[in-house]
Amino acid sequence: MKWHVLRPLWVAIGLVGAILVARVFLVPDDFGVHGKNFTYGYYRLSNVQEWVDFPVKYQGREGCVECHEANVVTLNASSHAPVECENCHGPGAHHPDGIESLPLNTTRELCLRCHAYLEYPNSARGSLISIEDKRHRRRRECVKCHDPHDPGEDT
């Protein structure tokens, strides 16, 4: 074969070699088959820990009760007991570092998520106490009359 035919071949071989060398430096050491097989378990092992270390934002009621015991006791005794504090108050991750980190949501829309009347006879929605948004005190916030911590007792 003549030289000018061989030359691109050397270039191609050189490129493959360069890629193989670059791969040694670029691919992390912990990259490999760690799971059940190559198809589903070929990955960078340290990424699992990276996901485990992802910050938690919703803390749960146990965190709230330390300072807000009265509210939690009232809530637990009410029909709203299954509703998490953070559903209405927002995720407590950075609370109480800054009080502004937990803006209180008192909008009508929040209550209507569950309490807007939908005429679905065979849905669980039907078993909830509900209002027709357009007919029931249209422009007032629900919390002006109803206590969300103890909805059975109107204020």
Partner 1 sequence: MTCSRRDFLKDAVGGTLATVMPLSAFTFLSHSEARAAVQESKVRWAFLVDTNKCVGCGLCVKACKNENEIPYDAEVTRTWVERYVVTKDGNTHIDSPMGGRDGFTSMEVDGEEIDPDNIEKAFFVPKLCNQCDNPACVQVCPVGATYQTNDGVVLVDRDWCIGCGYCIMACPYGVRFFHPVHKVADKCNFCYHRISKGMEPACVECCAFGARRIANLKDPDDPVTKIIMTERVAVLKDEYGTKPHVFYLGLDANVR
Positions that interact with partner 1 (CB under 8 A): 31, 34-36, 39-44, 47-48, 51-58, 60, 82-84, 86-87, 90-91, 109, 112-114, 116, 118-125, 128, 133
Residue 88 Cβ, how far from partner 1 at the closest point, in Å?
9
CA distance 31 to 48: 12
Work out how close the CB of 10 gets to partner 1 at its nearest, in angstroms, rounded to a whole number.
28
- For partner 1, the closer CB: 6 or 77: 77
Cα–Cα distance measured from residue 49 to residue 35, given in angstroms and rounded to the nearest whole number: 15
Q: Write down the least CB distance from residue 91 to partner 1, Å.
A: 5
Q: Which is nearer to partner 1, 31 or 150 (CB)?
A: 31
C-beta closer to partner 1: residue 14 or 141: 141
